[in-house]
Amino acid sequence: MTTFCFRLPRAASSPAVRCLLLLAAGAIAAPAVADTGCPRPVADAIPLLETMERSWAEVSDYTSTLLKTERFVDGTITEERGSVRFRKPDQVYLHVLEGANAGAELLYPKPGTDDVILARPGGVTGAMAGFLVNVPAIGNLVPYEFNLDDSRLTDGQHHPLPDSTIAGMMDLISVNLRAATRRQEGSVCFHAGERVDGHRTIKIEVLLPPEVGTWHTVAEGETLWTIGARYGQDRYVILYNNPSIGAEQKLSPGDRIFVPQYYAPRSLLWVSKSYNLPVKLQMYDVEKRLYEAYSNTDLQIDVGLGKEDFDPVLHGFPVVATSDEKPSKDIRTR
């Protein structure tokens, strides 16, 4: 069975990740965008980033329609549209509406865990799984629980589910901008804003050096997940920048692979002026091709989502919901 995933563009980071959205907090930090000269030091974008982080800190939950695009090593480009619910600290529900896996449902985390996703594939496979899971003696053989790094969940995907939230988007932006500021690398440009799904926005372009990174010699037992965790880089970013690894993603001791310092050489970010948060993000590879893109449309902030909105039983998963909610550790994919 090959998964119930989103087909869309990619995002940065390490083994586990997350992403979410926004809340109004007044006007965007004017000093950060008043002078639209280009290029400018990446440090000039930090005041705007801090404004976004303050706004996000006030958000309790959100719903949106997520549009995702991803480019893969073989040149395949996938697109997907899904309905998302998110509640802090890290509860996520996704229903895939359009794409190769339309009909799929994913719920994270499984109650009482911090690294298990409940998932059901879309299409005919999903319909069959939904039927078989209720058949005595067969139901237990139908997989619906997966660890975040399970290859069946990331087949045809850049990231695990939590990485595709606004929380994940915020984390990715923060990690790269702060690293570039600290290392005094790259540049930013502030462009005239555009309307995105009705939002007046500030548009920011970020350029980061693709040649900066580390050559890593693979040791016994290492995987793309463990190497990504070591360097704070996304598993698929490493794979994409080392096409010789191959589709099976098998590493051998002694292999030399390049781990980029930054998620993408060029990124475009649209920040809502009313929410002071990102509503659209595009990332490009070294060949100037779209590598990954995310847009959150129909965004609604602080709608009052409750425990029932993430109840596995109410979503048809054969698990016993816990009566209390165990706080989860922070998991993200940069």
Q: Is residue 329 part of a domain?
A: no
User: Cα angle vertex 168, ends 245, 10, to 5°?
Assistant: 35
Q: What is the b/e burial string over 147-176, where b = at least 16 CB atoms within 10 angstroms of the residue's CB?
A: ebbbebbbebbbbbbbbbbbbbbbbbbbbb
Q: What is the pLDDT of residue 68?
A: 95
Q: Is residue 22 part of a domain?
A: no
pLDDT number for residue 123: 55
Residue 21 in domain: no
Residues 301, 63: Cα–Cα separation, whole Å = 7
Q: Are 163 and 20 in contact (CB under 8 A)?
A: no
In a domain, 257, yes or no: yes
| Amino acid letter, 299 | L
Q: What is the dihedral of CA 151, 145, 115, 333, to 10 degrees?
A: 40
Residue type, 152: R
Three-state secondary structure call for residue 195: strand
- For strand 195-196 and strand 187-191, is the pairing parallel, antiparallel, or unpaired? unpaired
Which residue range(s) make up the domain with 248?
30-310
In a domain, 263, yes or no: yes
d(CA 16, CA 11) in angstroms, rounded, equals: 12
Q: Cα–Cα distance between 329 and 303 in angstroms, integer?
A: 24
The answer to whether residue 318 is domain-embedded is no
Contacts of 325 (CB under 8 A, 6+ apart): 111, 307
158/70 Cα distance (integer angstroms)? 7
Residue 113 burial by Cβ neighbours in a 10 Å radius (0-12, 13-18, 19+): middle
Of 252, 215, 237, nearest to 72 by C-alpha is 237
The C-alpha atoms of residue 290 and residue 77 are separated, in whole angstroms, by 9
Domain with 70 in it: what CATH number? 2.50.20.10
Q: Note whether 119 and 101 are within 8 A (CB).
A: no
Q: Which residues pair with 105 in a beta bridge?
A: 95, 120
Which pLDDT does position 201 carry in this prediction?
97
Contact partners, residue 195, CB within 8 Å, separation at least 6: 201
- Tally of domains within the chain: 1
Q: pLDDT digit string (tens) for 124-166?
A: 444 444 444 444 444 444 468 888 877 777 777 787 766 789 9
Q: Which residues of the chain have pLDDT under 70?
A: 1-37, 123-143, 161-162, 319-334
Q: What is the pLDDT of residues 22-55, one digit of tens each?
A: 222 333 343 344 445 679 999 999 999 999 999 9
Q: Which residue type sits at 129?
A: A
| Residue 259: inside a domain | yes
